Structure 1
């Protein structure tokens, strides 16, 4: 069963339409795709409580992957962490040779109540502690 086709466009087509060099195209048969998609699964209800957002900037060795630091933050923060996003990577004299700063936006939410800033801060500090333990991270001042 073929769901679709994808490939690089011929150079004459790319030129005729003013597309970027080595442009690609895809065609999907959505009827087949929908028919073969898994059914079921539960969708969690949306919370009526607000999210508390806190940022954290961590300094790690330049060879430590950001994904590893993110995984440690997730593991440390616990069930209150709803979202995490890496929004800045910085290297420079202020950080030190062989180091980089990774800044993450953390979103905390409880399913049954409005979180206080103090509760979010406890979860944030637990996340930072786990990143320190797993990745050698230190909090940037």
Structure 2
């Protein structure tokens, strides 16, 4: 079916895993790699570590819109693949210049009015970048 808030709600309902783990599951949303999930959760101000089942419903609609926006931007920036956008030569494309969270550890969060610091944690062998303030 279509990727919408209801679909996320169903996928997240009662789950103890963080939203990052669930969003990386291709059965929930296809084509979302680690970089995109970090970016989307940062823009949506959702903690990657919070049990998905406890994320308020009112945040799911905006998260769906943000995921679509991040993917559209990546494609527009020259994305040739949706798996952690890599060009044919394996190099990261222009999208990397637009990262707001990914690979910005120790830098200031770019969410309007935030001013927090981007932190990094390793989850299941992948780096998770998130704002320690607005994504707390």
Shorter-chain TM range is under 0.3
User: Which structure has the larger Rg over C-alpha atoms?
Assistant: 1
TM-score by length of 2: 0.27
Higher strand residue share = 1
TM-score by length of 1: 0.26
Which structure has more relative contact order (CA 8 Å, sep 6+)? It is 1
Higher helix residue share = 2
